[in-house]
Amino acid sequence: MLLQNKAPKKSSWKGTCDALIFSYYEKKLRTAAETNSGMKRLNIQLNSLHSTHPMFQNVTNPREVQKLKRQLKVLSGDFYTNSIIGERQGTSQKCLLCEYLCEDDIHVLGLNGCPALMAPKARIFNEMTEAAANFQPPLTISTDDNVFMQYVCDPTSYNLPPSSRVNLNKLGECDIMFKLTRDYVFTITQLRAKKIEEILGNKVQK
């Protein structure tokens, strides 16, 4: 009755409907993400469907896109380690490289994880700490594996302590650290894939 007596303009009505539909699905997606254990490192509280995640900034060539895809898989919980595969298929969750009982993403990418992957970790971690020390204000990168895993997924995340978190408003610092964390994730996961391929004698999906 109200609409019949005072019908809104077509453009106004369309805008209102679009906003309500957008709001509904954004809330629905937030709720789904919050209850998805695989997305625990993706802090969605400050993200909107209108915004682009800062990790997509300054990705300017196919090689960086390839690295970004790997970092996204880890951030979204889509990086398949033996712990995930074993749980789903009822097979062994052991690390093929060191026989550790449960090969999860922290075992693969953590600083204190798989000993077969340590050399490049130390090199790139040193580059990251040197870069962070030159930020304004200087930042420190935690060596605690749980915190560090969050850092290599997203160094701007509000899941991180302020002493480590890269300021979203400082685009130059964001570009530097996202490039380093992409390098870290890609280098370690590529090395893991190569070593597993050598062990199995078959090509694994990369």
Would you tell me how many other CB atoms lie within 10 Å of the CB of residue 189? 22
At residue 26, the pLDDT reads 62
**What share of the chain has pLDDT > 90, as a percent?**
66
Of 185, 144, 191, 139, nearest in space to 166 by CA: 139
Whole-number Å distance between alpha carbons of 26 and 39: 16
CB 95 within 8 A of CB 107: yes
Segment holding 21, helix H or strand E: helix 10-34
At residue 154, the pLDDT reads 95
Per-residue pLDDT of 36-77, as tens digits, reads 555 566 666 655 666 788 899 889 899 999 999 999 999 988
Task: Check pLDDT > 90 for residue 183.
Answer: yes
| Alpha-helical regions (H) of 39-144 | 62-75, 82-89, 105-109, 118-133
Taking the chain, what is the end-to-end CA distance rounded to the nearest angstrom? 60
CB 168 within 8 A of CB 57: no
**pTM score over 0.85:** no
